[in-house]
Chains A and B, each alone.
Chain A
Amino acid sequence: MWLTPITDRTLEDVIYARSKVKEWIAAYSRGETPIPAVTIEGYESSWIRLYSHLWGDMSDTRWGDLAPTVPPDLKGCVNASDLNRIEGNLDYLNGRIIFKGGFPDKRVVVKTWKRGEVVQYSDVRRLLNNALYIMGLYDLYGAVPIHPVTIRDYEGMNNLEIMTQLAKEQVTAKWEQLSSLSWGDMSNTYWDDAISQTGRTPR
C-alpha cells in the first residue's frame, strides 16, 4: 500500500526533536505525563479517534483522555514507521513498474521493521540499493536533487522520499490515463487490461 512520503523535513524539525526528547525526559522525571508533540499525525490520529465516539460517549470526557498518551514518533527522527513506509513504497513502485511497461526488479528485497529492532549497516545498504534500482526503473537519474546514497541526515531522508514521490507521480499519470476510457470500456475488465487499453503494453 502506498503511504504519503515525508519530503519536507527541516533542520528545525531535527532541533525540535532533540529538545522534545529532553523535554519528555524532564517531564517524566517530574512524574508528569508529557504533552504530546504537535504533529499533524498526532492530531489526525486523535481526531480520528474522536469520530469513532458517539456524542454521548464523549460527555464528561476531556481532550487529554482522547489525545495520545505516549509521545509520538517525531518528524526529525527515523522510526520504524518511517522505514516501513519507505520499504513499502519502494515495494509498491517495484510492482507498479509494469504499468510503465517494465518488469519488477527482482533485486528489490524489502523488510518490515519493528520498534527497537537493530538496523545493521547491511540493512541501510540494502535500502539504498533498493532506492537506486527503483530510480533506474523509473529513469529518475538527474531528477532527484541528490542521489540517495547515504542516510546521514534529514536531507538524505528527504532525498530518498522525494525519489519515491517522483516515481509515484509516474504511476499516477497512468491512473490519469484511465480518464480516456469510458465506464463501458472498463466493465468486466481487469486492472492491467484497462491500462493496456490505453495503448501502452508492457514490453
Chain B
Amino acid sequence: MLEVSQAWLDNQRKTIVGESDVIINLGAVDPVIRREDVSIVSSTPEVYSVPYNTMSTFFSEESLRYTTLEQNMWVLDQPPLAFTQDDFPTVYISKEISAGDRSFSPYITYKVNFTELRDPSYPGFTLVWDKVGGTFATDFSIRVYRADTIVAEAHVQNNRSVETFVPLQLQQYDAVEVIIRKWILPYRKAVIEKIKLGGSERFDKRTIISLDWKMSAEPTTSRLPTSELIFKVIDLDGKFDPTNPDGVMQYIKERNPVTLDVAYKGLGSNGEDEVHRMGTWFLSEWDIERSGKVARFVARDVLSFLEGDYDMPHFDYYYPPLARGVVLDILLDADLPPHLDVIGTLVFTGIPENKKIRRPLSDVSKLEALQLIANLTSSPMRVGREGEIRFESLEDVWATSSQEYIIDDFNQYSAPKITLLPVIQGIISKYTTIEVDEELEVIGSASGSAQGVVELYIKFDTPSILNSVILTGASNEEGGRIIRSFDSLGVKLRFIAHGDYSIEVKGRPLVETEHFIRVPLSNTGAFQTIENPLATTSEEAYDLAYDLERFIKSRQIVDLEWRSDPRLNVLDKVTVRGKYGDLSVVMTDIHYTYNGNFRARGRGRVIA
C-alpha cells in the first residue's frame, strides 16, 4: 500500500473528501543519455553532482560540502543539504551568485556537447532547474548547435516554473547551450538539475474527460499481472489529431512514458498539496474519437514489453542457475523501454538468494517465464508505482494488516457481492524429477557446406549432458577450440570448414519423470491440479499446493464498489466490514475511475 500522511488518511474518512487533482504526464523525450555520450562546457561550476537532493549524515568526510551561503538557503529546521562530487555531472551549480537585482554578470553558460548527432524528432527541450530549492531562471536563452553553428535559438523571459519546456523546431544537432541571465531570487546560484531532450504534455482534471486505471495480480500467480491506464482528453484545437501537421502527435510515439500523479489540496503542514506518484506506464495506442474533439490514450505497464519468447535460455544440470540470475537474464534479453531503468529499479527481495532453477525453461514467453519463477519462489510479481517490477514475498502479503484500509458502509456504494465457489476435495500438485540417462546417444547433429570460419549453435533434441562433438570435413582454428560454450540445452561451435562438413553431437539425455502429491482439503468435490514445470522436488510441489490452499480455502470471492483512496494496490489486504463481521480480503483486481474523486470497482479473495 502506498505510504501517505496522516492528513491524507484523515481526509479520506471525511464525508466530503477534500479537493483533489490528477496530473498525467505524457513524455516525448529522448531516452536517458549515457555518460559517455556527453561532455559539458560551462561557466565555472561550484558543484557537478548527482545527489543534489540527497541528505547526508552530519558526521562524514571532511571534504563533504555542508551547504552554501546563498541568501536564506540554509534554513534552520534540519541539517542542510550536503553535496558530494559524484562522477556524472547531471546537476550544474554555478560558482557565482546572482546580484541584488537577480541578474548574472557575466551570464552563466552551460553547454552540453554530444558525441553523436541527436535525433531532431523531439519537440524542443525541457529544463529542470532547482527543484529541491524551488528556484529557477526567469530570463534565459537556449542555443542549439551543429558543428559550432547555431541551428536553432529561443529566448525566454519571465519564466515562472522550475521545469520549463522550450519548444523548438529542430534539425540534427550536436550541442545545446543554456545562457542564464536572471534568477528568481537575488544572491542565489544558478542550478540546472537536468536537460531533457524533448518535452511532455501535461493533463490535469481541467483537460481530462475520463480516467480508467485497471490493475490485476494474483498471489498465486495463476494469472499474468496487468496494469493499464486509459484516459481521454479534450482536444478542441486538434492538437492530438494525427493528421494535423502542426499537432503534437508527430512527437508522440509508442513507448513514451506516461505517469499519473494524484494531489490532494492543502494537506501539507504548510498548506501545500500532498502529491503521490500513482503509476508509470508506456504509451501503447491512441485514437481520436469521431467528434474530433476528444483524444483517447492507452498506456500499459512495463510487463507488456515481455511478451516475446524467451528464446535464449541457459540451463546447466550440474550447476543450475540462480532464480535471481534467470530473472535478470530475461529482463536483459527483453527490449525494454530505455526511459526506465528496469534492472536498476528491480525489487526481488521475495526470491530467496540461493534458490536455483533446476529445470530448463523453454517454449514460454519472457513474461510467462518470470511468472513461473514468481510462482515457484512464492513471490508474486507486480509492477510498482514508479514502474518498477517487484517480486515480494507472499508471506508479506499474508502478514500485512488488513486494518489499514477499511471498506464499510461509510465508503461503499453497494453491499459487497460474495460468491461461494464449489467445494474441492484437495489439490494435486505435479512436479518433475530429472536424472541423467546411462546411455550415450546422439543428441544433436548438423551438416552444411562452407569454406572458412563457421560459427554454429546446435540445440539438443532434448536437454542433455554433452559428451563429445564429432566433426568431419572441418578443422579447428589455430589455437582455438571447436566447442566455444555449452550448457544442457545446446552447444556453440566455431571451426574452419573445407567444403562439405557434418557434425554429430553425443551426450546423455536428461530423463524426466512426472510425480505428484495430494493435499486433501475435504471429503467431497473434485481435485484441483496445479503444475509448475520448474518444480522438481516434492517440497516445491507441497509449497505450491499450500500457497494455493491458503488462497482458496475460504472459497469466497468478493466484488466491491466503493469511494476509494488510490493508495490501494493489488495484493494489498483490506477489511470489508459487513453486517455479520469483518472479512479480510486480498485484492486481486482494482479498477479506479476518476471524476473529481476516485471511485473503484474491485475483486478479492477472502482469506480465512
Contact = CB atoms under 8 A, between A and B. Distances in A.
Contact of B77 (A25, A122, A153): A153
Contacts of B67: 78, 118-119
B270 A115 contact: no
A150 B79 CA distance: 9
A113 B66 CA distance: 14
B64 A14 contact: no
B71 interface: yes
Contacts of A117: 68-69
Nearest to B64: A121
Given A119-B69, A121-B66, A122-B63, A29 B100 contact: no
B594 interface: no
Contacts of B68: 116-119
Interface in B178-232: 184-189
Interface residues of A, number: 47
A25 B65 contact: no
Nearest to B134: A25
Contacts of A15: 77, 270
Contact of B100 (A70, A113, A153): A70
Contact of A28 (B46, B47, B138, B270): B138
Nearest to A18: B75
B71 A25 contact: no
B487 interface: no
B97 interface: yes
Nearest to A80: B69
A69 B101 CA distance: 9
Contacts of B58: 121, 150, 152
Nearest to A155: B76
B74 to A, nearest CB: 4
A70 to B, nearest CB: 4
Contacts of B62: 120-122, 125
B60 interface: yes
Contacts of B73: 77
Contacts of A79: 69, 71-72, 74
A121 B65 contact: yes
B513 interface: no
Interface residues of B, number: 42
Contact of A17 (B47, B61, B75): B75
Interface in B1-30: none
A116 B184 contact: no
Given A115-B69, A123-B66, A157-B76, A25 B189 contact: no
B184 A25 contact: yes
Contacts of A122: 62-63
Q: Is the interface of B mostly helix, strand, loop or mixed?
A: loop
B77 A18 contact: yes
A18 B135 CA distance: 13
A73 B97 CA distance: 15
B65 to A, nearest CB: 5
A138 interface: no
A83 B75 contact: no
A24 B185 contact: yes
B409 interface: no
A120 B65 contact: yes
B523 interface: no
B498 interface: no
Nearest to B67: A119
A69 B100 contact: yes
Given A69-B100, A120-B66, A152 B79 contact: yes
B71 A120 contact: no
B354 interface: no
Nearest to A37: B72
A115 B64 contact: no
B553 interface: no
Contact of A14 (B60, B66, B76, B158): B76
A31 interface: yes
13 contacts: A9-B76, A25-B134, A71-B72, A115-B69, A117-B69, A118-B83, A119-B80, A120-B65, A121-B61, A121-B66, A121-B82, A124-B66, A152-B79
Interface of B: 46-47, 58, 60-80, 82-83, 96-97, 100, 102, 134-135, 138, 158, 160, 184-189, 270
Q: Which 8 A-B pairs have the closest CB atoms?
A: A116-B97, A154-B76, A78-B74, A121-B64, A122-B62, A29-B160, A77-B72, A70-B100
Interface of A: 9, 11, 13-15, 17-22, 24-25, 28-29, 31, 69-71, 73-74, 76-80, 83, 113-125, 150-154, 156-157
Given A28-B185, A118-B46, 5 more contacts: A18-B270, A29-B184, A73-B72, A80-B69, A121-B64
